Structure 1
Amino acid sequence: MTIGLTSRAVVSTCAMCAAGLLALAPAAVAGGGGADPGTHGGPRAAAPQPSLLYRSGTQVRPRAGAPEVPEVSALSWLVADADSGEVLAAHNAHRELPPASTLKTLFALTVLPVLPGGIRHTVREEELAGIGAGSSLVGVAEGRTYRVSDLWRGVFLNSGNDAVHVLAELSGGWRSTAARMQAKARSLGARDTRVLSPDGYDTPGQVSSAYDLAVFGRAGLRSADFARYCGTVQADFPGRDGGSYEIRNTNRLLSGDDGVEPYPGLVGIKNGYTSKAGHTLVTAARRDGRTLVVTVMNPQAGGGFAVYEEARELLDWGFDADGRVEPVGSLEAPRVRPAARPAAGPAAQPAAVPAAVAPKPPEGGAAWPATGVIAGAAGLGAGALAVAVRRKRARSAGS
């Protein structure tokens, strides 16, 4: 049987084909051509270099004139740009090590948002139970009423495990807080961290890494409360008798205590020490509109203050290396778009595609691949042809 089409049907079909081409190939129409990127359609963007952060040893990609990376004794360290997240250099960045009180950065990221500083709380005996022997304490007393902001200053300045215990109980309990800290670490792309004791006290199996601690420190600087607490040098803490006493930040690069020269432009963040972890530090400094974050874990030489001097050397190097090194990795975690919640009824939408694999047109106005344009146009054209055929048959049946 031969099917004949009226001129109107043919025109409609062609119009729909053209619409398909326009819908599927906007870049080709707008750009006046569909040259394949990288051939004759203009320069192709440089592909990012692969990360070196899972390699052992010191990793750096120097350009001409770059300063030499300082030789430091820490088991692991990292220097990164806090704004872009680019890692400028690192040594054993993902080596899993005990973090000591630098883990309090993750504690603060997890608990600060749910405990406003103005809340007043009278400490109960059970909230101070289970504090590890030899823990650093700020002097929280049973029966004394504190503002939550007082307790946070006790955490950041004096590294008080007693303050951590009270805040953890206020936010759901010790185990719940550890679980939420673990989830927070994963959400930030920190995969080396295992949380068992929220205060950072030595616990078998509890680890983090120079990479993860830099992620936590960088994220903390984006919180006004975190940044304010971690950059405070001294404060008054409520005493047992109703008075108060002075506490000072134990980050010597910030306070300048114990003969350590303060670092110009330092903004915090947190130091730590335990017998298993040794001395650890995640810190940040600003210079000429640029902020660097540095992690140093367990220096093997130089005494108890070596962690500060090695951080100083790495900060100096990072500022001197500005524009003269290529990044060796990034603190930015791959983001996956959460699945969309289905709507009620038959109009429910499909779940979202993970951002890492969601299709999108090439950047810079490049055309869709020709095969996709042709296939899409052919599909729309075939649909239009079917409509025209049904109309022709209907007219034939009614005559």
Structure 2
Amino acid sequence: MTIGFSPRIAMSTCALCLTAVLAFTPVTATASTGSDPSTQVHPHPGAPQLPDISALSWLVADARTGEVLAAHDAHRRLPPASTLKTLFALTVLPALPGGTRHRVSEQDLAGIGEGSSLVGVEAGHTYRVADLWRGVFLNSGNDAVHVLAALNGGWDATAARMQAKARSLGALDTHVISPDGYDTDGQVSSAFDLAVFGRAGLRNADFARYCSTAEAEFPGDGSSYAIQNTNRLLTGNDGVEPYPGLIGVKNGYTTHAGNTLVAAARRGGRSLVVTVMNPQAGGGFTVYEEARELLDWGFAAAGRVDPVGSLDALRTSPRPGPA
């Protein structure tokens, strides 16, 4: 029986009557590294060895089935930075038609955190909702998030709806305070939960389209200007080699979160989703290289490892992932 992860305990069971109790508990894992009990993987003989990953928490899962192929401290609660925008999009996208036009007010933009990433939304200008979503996914614009949250009933109401959405998906490590992912005391998520959000997002055609867009035009004063996705595995910017078959999803950075990334890729009819939270080695682009290594490992390990958990384990009504 495949079950979810616990941040503290490792055990296994095959007793069906204990499912409810053990929904939070991982099966015992034999790490191919042989050293860290927080690393969980069940390799077959001859399976590729896990790469050496410095991130505080990470996870590799099959995006279609939800089977977790390997993970490290997957329920560790950490600041998510802008990867929390995946949950924001899951919650708000269905409520706001992309063609809706909105004239932005000063009040819509009130309360944006100091040092926030911005796409350039200006009060007094009229934007389509689709433009604002491109600002969220490509530029990680907290100004665009604030406007969309205002259209969704307000900042606090949106945070509450995001929290409810997380619980409905079985993402129990996430505590939402600031819908844009801005560093806020008590705001946390986990590699497990972020993988759940990324996988669920790919079921939504609009989400999938926005998160895989490398470049777009954003309305400006009298004319539009180019914006580019900050996910360097998608664009290949700043010397980061683009990943073949990358679908996208979302990257993030804040002072407290460090670099975070949810990435999905497709190869040979198989899709994987990985989460990498706060690498401890290298520079700011290490998060992309560690995600690359985990994706490579996941594709090479297909059929050569047993799952150690499921992204559906903690939700009440499991649904299939994207094709």
TM-score with structure 1 length normalisation? 0.71
What residue is the counterpart of 2:178 in the other structure? Answer: 197
* Other structure's SS at 1:69 match: coil
Among candidates 52, 56, 72, match of residue 26 of structure 2: 52
Alpha-carbon separation, structure 2, partners of 1:174 and 1:161: 12
1:209-228 counterparts in 2 under 5 A?
209-228=190-209
Summarize the Cα distance change of 1:313–1:336 in structure 2 as closer, same or farther, 3 Å threshold. Answer: closer
* Other structure's SS at 2:91 match: helix
Alpha-carbon separation, structure 1, partners of 2:127 and 2:27: 43
Q: In the alignment, residue 308 of structure 1 is paired with which amino acid?
A: Y
Please list the CA deviations of residues 126-156 of structure 1 after superposition, one character each: whole Å capped at 9, or x if unmatched.
Answer: 0000000000000000001100000000000
Alpha-carbon separation, structure 1, partners of 2:218 and 2:283: 30
Q: How many residue pairs get matched?
A: 292
* Other structure's SS at 2:68 match: strand
Please list the CA deviations of residues 17-75 of structure 1 after superposition, one character each: whole Å capped at 9, or x if unmatched.
Answer: xxxxxxxxxxxxxxxxxxxxxxxxxxxxx989985279851110000110000011000
Runs of 5+ unmatched residues, structure 1? 1-45, 338-354, 356-399
Summarize the Cα distance change of 1:329–1:179 in structure 2 as closer, same or farther, 3 Å threshold. Answer: same
Alpha-carbon separation, structure 2, partners of 1:315 and 1:264: 10
What residue is the counterpart of 2:6 in the other structure? Answer: none
Q: In the alignment, residue 212 of structure 1 is paired with which amino acid?
A: D
Verify the 8 A CA contact 1:53 1:90 in the aligned structure 2.
no
Alpha-carbon separation, structure 2, partners of 1:322 and 1:47: 27
Verify the 8 A CA contact 1:120 1:148 in the aligned structure 2.
yes
Q: Does 1:124 align with 2:140?
A: no
Q: Does 1:168 align with 2:149?
A: yes
Verify the 8 A CA contact 2:104 2:126 in the aligned structure 1.
yes
* Other structure's SS at 1:300 match: coil
Please list the CA deviations of residues 356-379 of structure 1 after superposition, one character each: whole Å capped at 9, or x if unmatched.
Answer: xxxxxxxxxxxxxxxxxxxxxxxx
Q: Does 1:136 align with 2:110?
A: no
* Other structure's SS at 2:289 match: helix
Alpha-carbon separation, structure 2, partners of 1:177 and 1:325: 39
How far 1:282 moved relative to its partner?
0.3
Q: In the alignment, residue 255 of structure 1 is paired with which amino acid?
A: T
Q: In the alignment, residue 266 of structure 1 is paired with which amino acid?
A: L
* Other structure's SS at 1:193 match: coil
Summarize the Cα distance change of 1:162–1:193 in structure 2 as closer, same or farther, 3 Å threshold. Answer: same
Alpha-carbon separation, structure 2, partners of 1:242 and 1:205: 41
1:314-329 counterparts in 2 under 5 A?
314-329=294-309
Alpha-carbon separation, structure 2, partners of 1:134 and 1:330: 37
Summarize the Cα distance change of 1:307–1:166 in structure 2 as closer, same or farther, 3 Å threshold. Answer: same
Alpha-carbon separation, structure 1, partners of 2:104 and 2:143: 10
Among candidates 220, 244, 250, match of residue 230 of structure 2: 250
Alpha-carbon separation, structure 2, partners of 1:334 and 1:145: 41
Q: Does 1:70 align with 2:51?
A: yes
Question: Share of identical aligned residues, percent?
Answer: 76
Alpha-carbon separation, structure 1, partners of 2:40 and 2:247: 26
Alpha-carbon separation, structure 1, partners of 2:53 and 2:258: 15
What residue is the counterpart of 2:293 in the other structure? Answer: 313
Q: In the alignment, residue 65 of structure 1 is paired with which amino acid?
A: G
Q: In the alignment, residue 143 of structure 1 is paired with which amino acid?
A: G
Verify the 8 A CA contact 2:82 2:251 in the aligned structure 1.
yes
Q: Provide the aligned C-alpha RMSD in A.
A: 1.8
Verify the 8 A CA contact 2:169 2:315 in the aligned structure 1.
no
* Other structure's SS at 2:71 match: strand
* Other structure's SS at 1:319 match: helix
Summarize the Cα distance change of 1:336–1:282 in structure 2 as closer, same or farther, 3 Å threshold. Answer: closer
How far 1:221 moved relative to its partner?
0.4
* Other structure's SS at 2:40 match: strand
Q: In the alignment, residue 166 of structure 1 is paired with which amino acid?
A: V
Please list the CA deviations of residues 248-294 of structure 1 after superposition, one character each: whole Å capped at 9, or x if unmatched.
Answer: 00000001011100000000100000000000000000000000000
What residue is the counterpart of 1:299 in the other structure? Answer: 279
* Other structure's SS at 1:272 match: strand
**When you count helix as a share of all residues, which structure comes out higher?**
1
Verify the 8 A CA contact 1:100 1:277 in the aligned structure 2.
yes
Q: In the alignment, residue 302 of structure 2 is paired with which amino acid?
A: D
Moved beyond 2 Å, runs of 4+:
46-56, 333-337
Alpha-carbon separation, structure 2, partners of 1:230 and 1:53: 33
Q: In the alignment, residue 181 of structure 2 is paired with which amino acid?
A: G
Q: Does 1:159 align with 2:143?
A: no
Q: Which has the larger radius of gyration?
A: 1
Q: In the alignment, residue 80 of structure 2 is paired with which amino acid?
A: P
How far 1:242 moved relative to its partner?
1.7
Alpha-carbon separation, structure 2, partners of 1:280 and 1:80: 17
What residue is the counterpart of 1:208 in the other structure? Answer: 189
